[in-house]
């Protein structure tokens, strides 16, 4: 049985489908405690890395730790909430509860540290992101997290990390929210593109024109923000390059999901580095 099949069996509470008891236990713990999807790691680490590259303070590290704890807690909380919604208590429910407490404690410690050291109201971006996060968590509990809305809301909510880091490090709200906007544009462009690529991979119809329109719209949104001085122009270049990757990829044969995932992680790193260069160089 492949790792994906093991994860699916555990996700549905059917670990007994696995042949060896030891394998069941190891796979269950790994599946519950460590997220495996590339996209989730990317959408979490990109705002953390961007924040650390442009704002240097103890608060930046504390908020980064809190964000990482929240991300790690999402999967066990999802599993736990799904079981509770369905009125069942399985062995995996206990494991999920333990991981939720551990990761939640890690996130709480980072947040409390930030309250002590912050030079600005870092909680403002967090408050703005809460409705998006709650929408995504509700979809998790009802096993509807693969829908477009929850995917977008969850990734955009995690992008608030960069705004929290920069505001907590003494930035004004405008430029801080501008960096969040750059990452939100990257998230929207990437998710729409990746969903199209997955459809191509399974020989399903894809509206390429719609994907191109989304890429162009995201560039336009960030360009307007740059014109008002809240986003570096290199941030616009970064989002434009995201669109170029999408156009070139859609003109070629579809690739495997793993290749899509790793490629998008590289694209996300590019967006972070180019945008950070724009901030630090004033371009």
Using alpha carbons, select from 273, 270, 264 the residue that is nearest to residue 40. 264
Q: What is the pLDDT of residues 68-117, one digit of tens each?
A: 998 898 889 888 888 888 888 888 888 899 999 999 999 999 999 999 99
Whether the Cβ atoms of residue 82 and residue 141 lie closer than 8 Å to each other: yes
Residues 6+ apart with CB under 8 A from 148: 191, 192, 195
CATH fold group of domain 34-281: Farnesyl Diphosphate Synthase (1.10.600)
Tokens of 183: 């990452």
Mean pLDDT of 141-147: 76
Q: What is the pLDDT of residues 153-197, one digit of tens each?
A: 999 999 999 999 999 999 999 999 999 999 999 999 999 999 999
pLDDT band at 14 (very low <50, low <70, confident <90, very high): very low
User: Which one has a higher pLDDT value, 60 or 261?
Assistant: 60
Query: The whole model's pTM is what?
Result: 0.83
User: Which one has a higher pLDDT value, 170 or 15?
Assistant: 170
Q: What is the pLDDT of residue 203?
A: 86
Q: What is the pLDDT of residue 190?
A: 94
Whether the Cβ atoms of residue 13 and residue 22 lie closer than 8 Å to each other: no
Q: What is the pLDDT of residue 4?
A: 37
Residues 6+ apart with CB under 8 A from 96: 32, 76, 77, 79, 80, 83
- In this structure, of 173-182, 207-216, 252-261, the range with the lowest mean pLDDT score is 252-261
Sign of the torsion formed by the C-alpha atoms of 150, 154, 157 and 159: negative
**From-to residues of CATH 1.10.600 in the chain:** 34-281
């Amino acid at each position: 049985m492949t790792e994906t099949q093991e994860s699916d069996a555990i996700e549905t509470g059917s670990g007994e489908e696995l042949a060896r008891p030891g394998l069941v236990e190891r796979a269950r713990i790994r599946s519950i405690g460590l997220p495996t999807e590339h996209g989730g790691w990317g959408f979490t680490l990109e705002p953390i890395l961007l924040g650390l590259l442009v704002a240097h303070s103890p608060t930046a590290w504390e908020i980064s730790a809190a964000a990482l704890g929240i991300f790690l807690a999402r999967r066990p909380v999802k599993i736990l909430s799904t079981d509770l919604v369905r009125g069942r208590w399985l062995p995996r429910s206990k494991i999920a509860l333990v991981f939720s407490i551990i990761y939640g404690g890690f996130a709480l410690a980072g947040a409390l540290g930030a309250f002590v050291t912050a030079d600005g109201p870092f909680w403002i971006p967090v408050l703005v992101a809460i409705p998006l996060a709650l929408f995504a968590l509700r979809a998790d509990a009802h096993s509807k997290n693969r829908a477009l809305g929850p995917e977008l809301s969850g990734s955009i909510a995690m992008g608030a990390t960069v705004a929290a880091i920069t505001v907590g490090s003494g930035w004004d709200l405008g430029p801080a929210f501008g960096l969040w906007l750059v990452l939100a544009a990257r998230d929207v462009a990437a998710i729409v593109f990746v969903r199209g690529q997955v459809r191509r991979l399974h020989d399903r119809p894809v509206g390429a024109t719609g994907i191109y329109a989304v890429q162009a719209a995201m560039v336009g949104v960030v360009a307007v923000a740059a014109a008002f001085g809240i986003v570096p122009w290199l941030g616009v270049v970064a989002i434009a390059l995201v669109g170029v990757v999408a156009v070139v990829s859609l003109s070629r044969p579809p690739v495997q999901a793993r290749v899509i995932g790793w490629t998008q992680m590289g694209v996300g790193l590019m967006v972070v580095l180019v945008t950070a260069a724009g901030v630090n160089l004033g371009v």
